[in-house]
Amino acid sequence: MNEFLTLMKSELVLTGIIFLLLFIKIGKGIKNESLLPLIQVLLLANFIFGFFLNQPGRLFGDMFYTTPVIAFQKNILNLGVYLISLVCADWLRKTPHLPEFFLLMLSALLGMFFMISSANLLIFYLSLELATIPVAAMANFDLEKKRSSEGAMKMILSSAFSSGVLLFGISLIYGTTGTISLPLLGERLDGSALQILAFIFFFSAFAFKLSVVPFHLWTADVYEGSPIAVTSFLSVISKGAVAFIFMTMLFRVFEPLHATWHLMLVILSIATMVVGNIFALRQQNIKRFLAFSSIAQVGFILVALTGQDYRYHMNSTAVIYFVLIYIFSNLAAFGVAAVVSEKTGRENIDDFRGFYKNNPFLSWVLALALFSLAGIPPTAGFFGKLFLITTGASDANYWYIIVVALNLIVSLYYYLRLVRAVFMDKNESAAEAVPVNAPVRLGLILCGAGILLTGVLSWIFDYIHSL
């Protein structure tokens, strides 16, 4: 019993919050103004609580397992949701269905927690669905906007398709190995043709969730249609969670098929980076812009997975570290976009021209975020990206690393485009001073501090590595 409580503590607390919201909803209801701070405090409490009582262990007949690393991954995701609840506070406060929104978002988060902890394909599939379906409902949350419904529809259809492919892959895997338990599975893989086919199906489902090219086509439309709170959840939290479990699957379970997936990763990571970068060059809408840039970022994450010394956990450390930094950077960028879009209704890059004049605080946060995404020091993005490339380069595949490094230049170009609009372009009708509320300000300051400090405080990396 005791073990049950400690090993599943994050999930239990989260479930508690979900039930609390449910009771509030069916009860008298609380005004958004007081409910939102309550949720924020609870999420923060869960985040802090997540650092204690972490030990490895297994539950439910080896269906669920946890280790300190997994607990840390869950904490990162929880932190991300907390930051979203801060930076998107303006929009959240106005939404008429706040309890429902958080019900859905936290259910999705719960699904991700179970997904990261799953040690069995059955629970993996269930939790993946739990992490996906609520998000599709969330994407539809701008109820009066047609684009929002369109995005939600695209998302649910493409998710259903990818789930089908995943299930087919799982059934083939079960057929060839006779087990769905992940530890056993790893031992029974021998690289037969059918297993490789099964793995390719399995892999493409992940590629779908991670928006790896050529499975990325749903991303931009869904991102553009959804409210910014949902877009940031999709681009940061979902991506992070899937990257974590993907990494575990590759390194722990499908390790015998290393030769197969290594080549696939090399090719797909280049395709993802190049396509994401090239499409990001021409975007006008800031959400679409960040959508394509997030595709390119996923390409960089894949680079780390191609590295050779995964046995030493360096790759997974680099990925976890990068996701942490990515949460800070991307949420800062989305946060600024959310504030501006909420106050002025503008979402285009051109609307940011001359923005610095009246909004120095928001401009600097945005600039920090963009430089971090581009990987320029002293921001943490520099360290994150460099370590991804470093672990990827352990393979001594120099042409590949040169291509990756050249992609850094392209991505710098389009991030600079936005910086240039904010700081340099002159604009007669520049945006007025946008008021920034206390929770939003706190969220942006936390993100900014994260961007500046996560890299320079080198023990964070070493701490993740030591887990």
- Give contact residues for other proteins (rule: CB under 8 A): 314, 317, 367, 371, 376-378, 382, 386-387, 389-390, 393-394, 396, 398, 401-402, 405-406, 408-409, 412-413, 416, 419-420, 423-425, 458, 461-462, 465-466
126 vs 376, beta carbon nearer other proteins: 376
Would you say 19 or 312 has its CB closer to other proteins?
312
- CB of 199 vs other proteins, minimal distance in Å: 29
Supply the minimum distance, in Å, between the C-beta of residue 56 and other proteins.
20
CA 392 → CA 299, 313, 397, 461, distances in Å? 12, 12, 9, 17
Residue nearer to other proteins on the CB measure, 174 or 423: 423
How near is the Cβ of 290 to other proteins at its closest, in Å? 20
Residue nearer to other proteins on the CB measure, 98 or 318: 318
DSSP state of 181: B
Of 217 and 433, nearer to other proteins (C-beta) is: 433
Instruction: Classify residue 214 by burial, with Cβ atoms within 10 Å: 0-12, 13-18, 19+.
Output: exposed
Q: Are 228 and 330 in contact (CB under 8 A)?
A: no
In the complex, least distance from residue 299 CB atom to other proteins, rounded to whole angstroms: 15
**Strands (E) located in 24-128:** 57-59, 64-66
Taking the least distance from each CB to other proteins, the nearer of 18 and 389 is 389
In terms of Cα–Cα distance, which of 312, 412, 335 is closest to 370?
Answer: 412
Nearest-approach distance from CB 120 to other proteins, in angstroms:
31
Task: Name the minimum Å distance from CB 412 to other proteins.
Answer: 5
Polymer length in residues for the chain: 467
Greatest alpha-carbon span in the chain: 68
Q: How many CA atoms lie within 13 A of 130 on its CB side?
A: 19
Looking at the Cβ atoms of 104 and 393, the one nearer to other proteins is: 393
Rounded to the nearest whole angstrom, what is the least distance from the CB of residue 203 to other proteins in the complex? 27
Structure tokens at 420: 């240039």
